[in-house]
Amino acid sequence: MYLARRGHSGPDGIEPRIVVTDDPGKGWVDVRRWQALSLERRGATPSGARRLAAAFVPGSMSAALAEGEAFLDVARAAIAGERESIDDAQFLAALDPSGYRDHMTFEGHFSYGYEWQGLTVPQVMYEMPISYFGNPLAFYGPNDEIPWPHYSKRLDYELELGIVIGRPGRDLTPETALDHVVGYTILNDCSARDIQQREMKGGLGPSKGKHFACVAGPYLTTPDSLSKSGLKMQAWVNGERTCEATSAEMMWSVAEVVAWASQSEWLEPGMLLGSGTCNGGCALEIQRDLAPGDLIELEIEGLGRTRNRYGVPPTSGWWPDAKRSRR
């Protein structure tokens, strides 16, 4: 099953609608509309059917996933409904995550990152899947333009496998963790390298180096629609292929990442866990600089392709004055 969100123009502006299919090449079914029609066939009035369908199928994917099997059953049944094709530009972020944490699991990528900063790779990277929380409010759709922050001259993309939680869990083990994963999506953890490097000298974050934008989409693929576990991961900059990796290169497995994330804290439906950038999956690692207007395409086998152009930075913005030490 493939789940996505379409932006529909309505009287209140753009209304997100969840759509489903068993083949993204063959069109999509509007899940709420399908359920309302289905309720009517079972005796509901049109207004009763709309009201209940709106409760079952909200515009937020996280809110829908929070209903557990109740939502997934409806979505799966809706695959039988009438399909329509959707223009690329109408796809919203497949997930409006209820939380977002990113990890470091690809040794080639993180080793390059530390060495670029003139550091040796810390031993802790081999002891636990180190992570930080990203910004769940800054998710863009798979074809949106990404705003370039005023404070950065060095924007980058990061090609990651996005792991989507579908069932609450806490203190999981790798043996039980995969029961809590509802699907996978392409994740672009957009990065502003210049400020990220400065922030990381403080040892925490990064924040401004990361929180301005992520991309999730074009859809979530449930595990039963993935025929294999090592998924090919590719990137293109302005049409030129810049990365060919596979999720099989993850040093920490998906099950270990989920179990780790759940230790002493709740994972909630709609949470997104990032694999970290795959080996070679960013411009930094291939010594390439991006410019405003560059087109970034990311593809993961079975998960589709995102196509995002990076915007033009504003010419000004606030910046703090440095402080003097009072010690």
> Is residue 138 close enough to count as binding a copy of itself by CB under 8 A?
yes
Question: Is residue 230 near a copy of itself by the rule CB under 8 A?
Answer: no
We find the least distance from the C-beta atom of residue 23 to a copy of itself, in angstroms, to be: 36
Size of the site for a copy of itself (CB under 8 A): 67
Window 88-117: residues binding a copy of itself (CB under 8 A) = 99, 101, 104, 107-108, 111, 114, 117
CB of 263 to a copy of itself, least distance (A): 6
Of 84, 88, 133, 291, which one interacts with a copy of itself (CB under 8 A)?
133
Q: Residues 49-82, buried b or exposed e (16+ Cβ, 10 A)?
A: bbeebeebbbbbbbbbbbbeeebbebbbebbebe
Is 169 a binder of a copy of itself (CB under 8 A)? no
Among 122, 230, 292, 293, binds a copy of itself (CB under 8 A): 122
Binding residue (CB under 8 A) for a copy of itself from 128, 248, 286, 295: 128
Q: Nearest-CA neighbor of 99 among 8, 169, 150?
A: 169
Among 37, 50, 77, 135, which residue interacts with a copy of itself (rule: CB under 8 A)? Answer: 135
178 touches a copy of itself (CB under 8 A) = no
Q: Contact, 274 vs 155, CB < 8 A?
A: no
Which contacts (CB < 8 Å, 24+ apart) does range 55-60 have? 56/32, 57/18, 57/31, 57/32, 58/18, 59/5, 59/15, 59/16, 59/17, 59/18, 60/16, 60/96, 60/270
The reply to whether 153 sits near a copy of itself by the rule CB under 8 A is no
| By CB under 8 A, residue 60 contacts a copy of itself | no
Choosing from 56, 91, 252, 310, the residue that interacts with a copy of itself (CB under 8 A) is: 252
The tokens for 311 are 């915007």
Distant-in-sequence, close-in-space partners of 102: CB < 8 Å, separation ≥ 6: 131, 132, 133, 134, 160, 189, 210, 273, 274, 276
By beta-carbon proximity to a copy of itself, the closer residue of 133 and 293 is 133
Residue closer to a copy of itself by CB (options 34, 157) is 157
Q: Do residues 56 and 67 lie in contact, with contact meaning Cβ atoms separated by under 8 Å?
A: yes
Q: Contact between 124 and a copy of itself (CB under 8 A)?
A: yes
For residue 298, the cross-strand partners are 235, 306
Bond preceding residue 11 cis, omega within 30 of 0: no
Site for a copy of itself in 186-205 (CB under 8 A): 198-205
Name which position in 52, 63, 77, 130 contacts a copy of itself (CB under 8 A): 130
- In angstroms, give the least distance from the CB of 25 to a copy of itself: 35
Within 8 A by CB and 6+ apart from 286, the residues are: 242, 243, 280
For residue 305, which of 207, 236, 243 has the smallest C-alpha distance? 236
222 or 308: whose CB is closer to a copy of itself? 308
Residue 84 beta carbon to a copy of itself: minimum distance, rounded to whole angstroms? 32
Q: Describe the strand order of the beta sheet including 295-300 as a list of residue ranges.
A: 240-246, 232-237, 295-300, 304-309
DSSP class of residue 321 equals: P
- Per CB under 8 A, the list member of 119, 248, 286, 312 interacting with a copy of itself is 119
CA distance 268 to 167: 6
Query: Cα–Cα–Cα angle for 128, 134, 139, nearest 5°?
Result: 135
CB of 77 to a copy of itself, least distance (A): 28
Interface with a copy of itself (CB under 8 A)? 99, 101, 104, 107-108, 111, 114, 117, 119, 121-138, 147, 149-151, 171-174, 198-208, 211-212, 251-252, 256, 259-260, 263-266, 268, 317-318, 320, 322-327
